[in-house]
């Protein structure tokens, strides 16, 4: 047995039990509110209103809760109370302090609630509010006369209430399952639309940046190079070179943004990922040695004499994606570390894995690593939009790119559909 949201008066709190009958009634009201979905309060369906009225008339705690949370015109008929309750229960259940400081339901409390239920079955519904303090004071302070005088007057039909029909919990569960399924489909549709809107916004931004920023950058770079050619001071030459390097870095970031928003068509050809991996890793040899970083290629589990994995891919793009991942690993390590490159193959996919001994990624950075709108340096590890570019390349090849924190760093996995040959 659970608890209904707390009843509040100043700093005082009272709690009432949530029974199976109230749970089913509230569940249907929440589903009804979920279906309306537009913030309006549609007329309450007659069948649902009758169900709520029966639940209120058969459950004293539920009845007392509905009455004491009511804030409409008084006196109020039972069906009006049910309607008001239906339109407000979602907000009451979702309130931030609805269950704040809830008491533990002990066997003693449950025993007192059972005795009260038996007692209330012997008195008419019209008298339930007279003895309502008996329920409230089980889990809360004494009810003051001042508060009792403010309770709304409920007009109850003199006709004895009838027990609700046997529960059809299976239909409620089915309706709830369909609601959850509908919610998931809406979330998927929203995510797809959001992704599309992001790409459109990035494309527009990239075109604007390309026109408005690349031209000034080109002028800055040209002027810096002219000054550098006639400069005899080594310090000034180094400063001008840093200006030129930063200009090219900004230009590359704009190019990455353009690529992410509007990539070129793939030019597929048969290639060996093992050869691409070796070629790219070799291009980093000198830099890695200067920074005391050991790059090794692991061939464990992929014996070349058994079979040679091939992929149909755009060689230039895949090479670029591998380069991004290795560059990302080197920047993460800084100096003195290890990068392990490996291939994991199965009949359907080939995974190019780059594992580094750097500081790894936080959960936040891991979640947004491929989002061009995310500004955290840790996600791209100082590479700008390189990871976004690599992710786009993977998706263009109907593959995927994932990041995971390993035992002592980060593991990047580029997965590409395989074309295997014996």
Q: Are strands 419-421 and 308-314 parallel, antiparallel or unpaired?
A: antiparallel
Determine the pLDDT at residue 383.
Answer: 43
Q: What is the pLDDT of residues 285-336, one digit of tens each?
A: 999 999 999 999 886 555 443 445 778 899 999 999 999 999 988 988 888 9
Structure tokens at 99: 């269950």
Whether residue 412 is predicted with pLDDT greater than 80 in this model: the reply is yes
- Could you tell me where the beta strands, DSSP code E, fall in 184-286? 268-271
pLDDT of residue 421: 42
- What 3 state SS string does 219-230 have? HHHHHHHHHHHC
CB-CB contact of 88 with 49 (8 Å): no
For residue 202, list its beta bridge partners: none
Question: Which domains does the chain carry?
Answer: 2-167 (no CATH), 181-261 (1.10.287), 268-421 (3.30.565.10)
pLDDT tens digits, 345-391: 887 888 999 999 888 877 777 777 777 656 554 444 444 577 888 88
Of 393, 368, 394, 392, the residue nearest 380 (C-alpha): 368
DSSP, residue by residue, 4-39 = PPPEEETTEEE--EE-HHHHHHHHHHHHHHHHH-SS
Q: What is the pLDDT, as a whole number, of residue 289?
A: 92
Q: How far apart are the first and last CA of the chain?
A: 63
| Strand-pair category, 17-18 with 2-3 | antiparallel
pTM over the 0.85 mark: no
């Amino acid at each position: 047995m659970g608890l209904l949201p707390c009843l509040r008066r100043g700093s005082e709190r009272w709690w009432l039990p949530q029974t199976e009958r109230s749970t089913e009634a509230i569940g249907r009201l929440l589903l009804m509110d979920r279906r309306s979905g537009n913030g309006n309060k549609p007329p309450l369906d007659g069948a649902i209103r009758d169900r709520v009225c029966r639940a209120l008339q058969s459950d004293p705690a539920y009845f007392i809760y509905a009455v004491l949370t009511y804030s409409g015109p008084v006196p109020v008929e039972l069906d009006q109370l049910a309607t008001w309750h239906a339109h407000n229960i979602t907000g009451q259940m979702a309130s931030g302090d609805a269950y704040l400081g809830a008491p533990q339901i002990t066997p003693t409390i449950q025993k007192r609630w059972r005795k009260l239920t038996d007692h209330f079955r012997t008195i008419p519904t019209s008298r339930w509010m007279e003895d309502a303090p008996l329920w409230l004071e089980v889990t809360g302070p004494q009810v003051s006369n001042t508060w009792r005088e403010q309770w709304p007057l409920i007009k109850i039909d003199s006709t004895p209430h009838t027990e609700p029909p046997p529960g059809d919990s299976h239909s409620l569960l089915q309706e709830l399952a369909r609601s959850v399924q509908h919610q998931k489909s809406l979330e998927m549709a929203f995510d797809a639309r959001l992704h599309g809107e992001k790409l459109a916004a990035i494309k527009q931004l990239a075109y604007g940046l390309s026109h408005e920023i690349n031209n000034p950058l080109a002028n800055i770079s040209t002027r810096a190079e002219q000054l550098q050619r006639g400069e005899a001071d080594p310090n000034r030459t180094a400063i001008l070179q840093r200006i030129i390097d930063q200009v090219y870095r900004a230009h590359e970031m704009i190019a990455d943004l353009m690529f992410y928003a509007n990539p070129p068509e793939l030019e597929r050809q048969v290639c060996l990922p093992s050869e691409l991996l070796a070629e790219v890793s070799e291009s980093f040899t000198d830099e890695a040695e200067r920074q005391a970083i050991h790059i090794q290629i692991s061939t464990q589990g992929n014996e070349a004499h058994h079979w040679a994995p091939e992929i149909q891919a755009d060689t230039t793009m895949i090479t670029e994606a591998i380069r991004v991942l290795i560059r990302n690993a080197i920047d993460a390590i800084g100096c003195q570390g290890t990068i392990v490159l490996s291939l994991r193959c199965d009949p359907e996919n080939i995974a190019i894995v780059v594992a580094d001994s750097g500081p790894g990624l936080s959960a936040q950075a891991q979640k947004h690593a491929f989002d061009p709108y995310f500004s955290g340096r840790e996600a791209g590890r100082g590479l700008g939009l390189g990871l976004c570019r690599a992710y786009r390349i993977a998706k263009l090849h109907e593959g995927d790119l994932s990041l995971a924190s390993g035992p002592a760093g980060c593991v990047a996995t580029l997965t590409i559909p395989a074309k295997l040959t014996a």
